[in-house]
Chain A
Amino acid sequence: MGRHVLAIGLRAAASLLAVSALAFLVIAFMPSDPVMIAIRAWNLPADPETIAGLRAQWGLDGPLPARYLRWLAGFVSGDWGRTFRTGEPVLAEFAARLPLSLSIGLGGLAFACVAAVPIGFAAALRPEGAADRASRLLAVTVQAVPAFWLGLVLVWVLGVKLRVIQPFSGGPTIVLLAAGLVALHSAGMFARVYRRDLIEQTGQPHFRTALAKGLDRRRALWRHGHRGAIYAMLSAVRSEAGWAIGTTAALEVLFGLPGISQFLVQSISARDFFVLQAYVMVVAVWMLAVNGAIELAVRRLDPRWRESQS
């Protein structure tokens, strides 16, 4: 087990390094000069001395590779630079906002996993039955309708027609609503993956044996199909995680929730490149952590993996 953790960690670190270099390169080609922006933002005198001072302070005077290494060293040691807008350390700003974004994104994914099992199971129990049709409709709908628009419609229905929520208040209900919207999309996808794997297993010999033993379809599916379908669903979580981050970003903007994406949007009008770089890194870490956790979970739980390892 320890070996796997180490291998996944090393691979994640290598990916992170490559992503950071790529993001650094892209951002270094930014059309506008961050020093001039900062001088305007902080009302500093635009004399050559200040400009040279800021350049030296941010390490903008060296060649690109040296700048990258310098930034990397700072990033690893927790010095993520200061924002132009507020002058606060970027790390502190992100640390204050990350819990909210994580609870919407990861909370939504977790909700979705829990909700997808009963939906997918009911759909697999009777293919082409009511539950199957409903779950297909859900999957088709959430793929076509952007979550932020659904959120807007919900604001109108719940906030205007029924008056049960206070939209744009940023309260816990709104956070819950946002997580629910992330969950809705993912649940639609997960339920289909879970159902598909269950149905595929009904063609397998072990499933027919279970039926021959006298189990009914429901118990046979649950006892002999459920576990395998869970692994299939966990793999789907990996591709869904990126989608959840995008949805979270749009929902933060819609509801005015102070998460990391809203912070990015506010900072970008000031061309705050430290924030942009940190944002890409935080998202990459988020994705790699989800990927690593799922890979570990599947390796740990799935007997097929354990056998092939020993």
Chain B
Amino acid sequence: MRRGAVLAVALAALALAGAVWQPHDPDAVDMLARHAAPSLSHPLGTDHLGRDLASRMLVAAWRTGLVVVIVGAIGLAGGSALGTIAAILGGWRERLILRGAELFIVVPTLVWALTAAALFGLSPLTAGVALGLAGVGPYALFSNALTHRVLGQPFVLAATALGAARLRLMLRHVLPNTLPLIFAYVGSQAGQSVIAYASLAFIGLGADPSKPDWGSMLYEYRMFVFDRPMLTIWPGLAIAAVTWTLNRIFDPPTAAASGGAGLNRGRRRPS
């Protein structure tokens, strides 16, 4: 856990640094320095156009971080709101909301995101919103089930008996109990959103080729795998490191070893 936390802080710092500073202009083409070996000025070397690989990796880290935050925020807010509201409304309106949530599971998250990328172009914002919205379904179902469980607790029944309004009941008694669990669930899927975004950028629908992403770098550099394998190794390692760290933070190995906490049973991953 501690190792995971240290790595997480380091990766987050790199992503934040990538937002404001890179050693070189990530788009500066330098045909004299094509495929340069790693050096002090180019720590990871340069690509086939002489662009500094480390700078491109840093920008891509920031873009990936944005996607993770957007997907997580939408999943947490949308999922808990929908699930809780459905539980308050009850009856046919609840069934309608839950059916709607199930609908999003029929078409994989990645395919909804592909559709959005095809229509509106691929950027961290569109990808984050699309992946986030498409992923809301499972969270809504999960938070709805949790809300019902909390609603059956004695303290909630007591509050109801005391005449607490429904909105107040939700804000004071239900959400504080369900939100941490929903947060953990959303977090356990955060690693998957990194891979989903990398896949989207790799597939490249509507992507802006001038903006570096780990996925689009892998696509661009795949032709050089024969002669310059390091160009494809670095982005891949970055994706794996970020995903592994996120998975480890939100799903500690002790829980995985014992078969996962009750929370993770039947977890669905966005795809």
Q: Are B118 and A268 in contact (CB under 8 A)?
A: yes
A60: Cβ under 8 A from any B Cβ: no
Min CB distance A131 to B, Å, is: 14
Q: What distance in Å separates the Cβ of B193 from its nearest Cβ neighbour in chain A?
A: 12
Smallest CB-CB separation from B102: which chain A residue? A15
Q: Which of B115, B219, B247 contacts A143 (CB 8 A)?
A: B247
Q: How far is the CA of A18 from the CA of B107 in the complex (A)?
A: 11
Could you tell me which residues of chain A, from 1 to 26, have a CB within 8 Å of some CB in chain B?
Answer: 15-16, 18-19, 22-23, 26
CB-contact partner of A152 in B102, B206, B218, B253, under 8 A: B218
Min CB distance A295 to B, Å, is 13
- The verdict on A52 contacting chain B, using a C-beta distance below 8 Å, is no
What is the interface of chain B mostly: helix, strand, loop, or mixed?
helix
Q: Which chain A residue shows the least CB distance to B199? A: A250
**Taking CB as reference atom, which chain B residue is nearest A249?**
B203
Chain A: CB-nearest residue to B110:
A246
Cβ–Cβ < 8 Å partners of A280 in chain B: 107, 111, 115
Residue B98 interfacial (CB < 8 Å): no
Q: Are B119 and A26 in contact (CB under 8 A)?
A: yes
7 additional contacts (CB under 8 A) given A148-B218, A246-B196 = A136-B253, A144-B191, A146-B240, A159-B226, A245-B110, A253-B204, A261-B203
B268 touches A239 (CB 8 A): yes
The reply to whether B218 and A149 contact each other, CB–CB distance below 8 Å, is yes
A-contacting residues of B (Cβ < 8 Å)?
A: 100, 102-103, 105-111, 114-116, 118-120, 191-192, 195-196, 198-199, 202-206, 215, 218-219, 222, 225-226, 229, 232-233, 235-236, 239-241, 243-244, 247, 253, 256-257, 259-260, 266-271
The answer to whether B103 and A18 touch across the interface, beta carbons within 8 angstroms, is yes
Residue from A139, A192, A245 in contact with B108 in the complex, judged by beta carbons closer than 8 Å: A245
In the complex, chain A residues whose CB is within 8 Å of the CB of B118: 264, 268, 271, 276
Asked whether, in the complex, the Cβ of B119 is within 8 Å of the Cβ of A27, the reply is yes
- Decide if A172 is an interface residue (CB 8 Å cutoff): no
Q: Closest residue of chain A to B113, judged by CB? A: A246
Closest chain A residue to B267, Cβ basis: A239
How far, in Å, is B260 (CB) from chain A's closest CB? Answer: 7
Give every chain A residue within 8 A of B191 (Cβ-Cβ). Answer: 143-144
Please report whether the interface of chain A is mostly helix, strand, loop or mixed according to DSSP: helix
State the Cβ distance, A261 to closest chain B Cβ, in Å: 7
For B114, B120, B236, B256, the residue with the greatest tally of chain A CB atoms inside 10 Å of its CB is B114
Question: What is the minimal beta-carbon distance from B190 to any residue of chain A, in angstroms?
Answer: 12
A-B contact pairs, 16 of them (CB 8 A): A15-B106, A19-B106, A136-B257, A143-B191, A144-B247, A152-B232, A153-B236, A156-B226, A156-B232, A196-B260, A242-B269, A242-B270, A243-B269, A254-B222, A264-B205, A287-B107
Is the CB–CB distance between B206 and A284 below 8 Å?
A: no
| Interface size bracket, A side | 35 or more
Q: A145 an interface residue at 8 Å Cβ cutoff? A: yes
In the bound assembly, the distance between CA atoms of A250 and B191 in angstroms comes to 17
Closest to A267 in B: B118
Q: Bound state CA distance, A19 and B207, in angstroms?
A: 25
A64 contacts chain B at the CB level, 8 A cutoff? no
A160 lies within 8 A of chain B by Cβ: yes
Query: Please, how many angstroms separate the alpha-carbon atoms of A261 and B108 in the complex?
Result: 13
Whether A268 touches B205, Cβ cut-off 8 Å, given contacts A144-B240, A245-B110, A276-B118, is yes
Given contacts A26-B119, A144-B243, contact A253 B111 (CB under 8 A): no
How many whole Å from A154's CB to the nearest CB in chain B? 10
> Given that A15-B103, A143-B243 are known contacts, is A246 also in contact with B108, CB under 8 Å in the complex?
yes
Contacts A143-B247, A284-B107 given; indicate if A152 touches B199 (C-beta within 8 A): no
A254 to B198, CA, bound (A): 13
B243 engages A246 (CB within 8 Å)? no
**Pair A26/B115 contact, Cβ less than 8 Å:** yes
Q: Within A183-206, which residues are at the interface with B (CB < 8 Å)?
A: 192, 195-196, 199-200
Chain A residue nearest to B120 (CB atoms) is A31
Measured CA separation A136–B102 after assembly (Å):
30
Q: How far is the CB of B195 from chain A (nearest CB, A)?
A: 5
Cβ of A293 to closest chain B Cβ, rounded Å = 14
Beyond A136-B257, A246-B199, A283-B108, whether A145 also contacts B236 by CB under 8 A is yes
A235 sits at the interface (CB 8 A)? yes
Tell me, rounded to whole Å, the shortest Cβ–Cβ distance linking A94 to chain B. Answer: 14
The residues of B that contact A30 with a CB separation of less than 8 Å are: 119
Contact of B199 among A29, A148, A155 (CB under 8 A): A148
4 cross-chain pairs, A with B, having the tightest CB-CB distances, nearest first: A242-B108, A246-B110, A243-B271, A196-B259
